[in-house]
Amino acid sequence: MNSLKFAPLALLFFPLAAHAAEIAGKLAGRDVVIWSPPKSTSPEPLILFSHGLIGPNTQSRFLTEALAKNGYWVVAPDHSRDAIESPPEQWSDATAKNRKEDMQAVLEALKKDPAYNKKMDFTHIGLAGHSLGGYTVLGLAGAWDSWRLPGVKAVLALAPVTAPYMANHTLENISAPVMYQGATADTLSAAIGERGNAYDQTPAPKYFIDLQDEAHKAWRDDTKGPHDTIAAYAIAFFDVYLKGKPASPILDQKLPGVSHLRHEEKSN
C-alpha cells in the first residue's frame, strides 16, 4: 500500500488560506504536496495539479491554497523526470509520458490510501496545470487518447502548450469542460483565443480568459500577476463542474487585469 508518509516539519499553515493545510510527502513513489480543505462531513472533490517544466509543484500556492480554502483537495506530484528535446509540433503521446504516469499513479494511490480514500470524491475529479502542466492536463482529458484519465469532470489549462494537439487535431477529443487562461504578452498562450486556434478546436463547454500585458509566469508565485483574478475564475469554474453550483456571474465578466473573455456553453 502506498500510504503517504510525512516529515515532522512538512505540515504548514498559511494565513491566506485559513483552515487549509499544506502537507508534503511521498505517494506512489513520487514526491507530492497535498492541500486539504476545511473539515467537512462529506467527501470533497479532488483537483490534480501539474506544474510547469521548471516547476516546482508548489509554484502556484496562491491558486492551490485558494482552491483548498474553497472546499477542494489539491494534490500536486513532482514531475522531476521531465526531458523534452523536440519542438512541440513534433510531440506525440510519448512526449512527457512520465507526467501522465505520475498523475495516474498518484490518483490510484490516493484511492487506496485509508488516510484519503474516504475524504476525497473520486467521482468529481478536476485537473489544473500550467505551461507543460497545461499540456499534461489537456492530454489526460483526451487530447492524447492513450492518456485519457477516467472520471475527469473539468480542466483548467493555464498558459498551456497546445501546439502538439493542434498539429494532430486532437483537441476535439477532449471530453470535459475546459477553461483556458492565457496572457497577451505570453508568446505561448496569447493566440489560444484567436480564430481557429486551441479554443475554437476544443468542444464546449469552454472558456478563455486573456490576461492583459502579463507574461508566461503570471500563474506562478514568483511573479506579481493578477493572482486574485486568476483564482476567482478558477474557483467559479470548478464550482460549476465539480460541485454542481449555479454559474457565478464572474464567468461572463471581465475582472481586473483581463483584456478578453470568451465563453461557449454548447457546441454549435
pTM attached to this predicted model: 0.91
- The CATH number covering residue 46 comes to 3.40.50.1820
| Confidence band, pLDDT 50/70/90 cuts, at residue 129 | very high
Q: Domain count of the chain?
A: 1
Residues 234, 26: Cα–Cα separation, whole Å: 27
Least confident stretch, 10-14, 18-22, 61-65: 10-14
| Confidence band, pLDDT 50/70/90 cuts, at residue 268 | low
Name the residue range of residue 193's domain.
5-264
Looking at residue 19, its pLDDT comes to 54
Query: Does the pLDDT value for residue 146 go beyond 90?
Result: yes
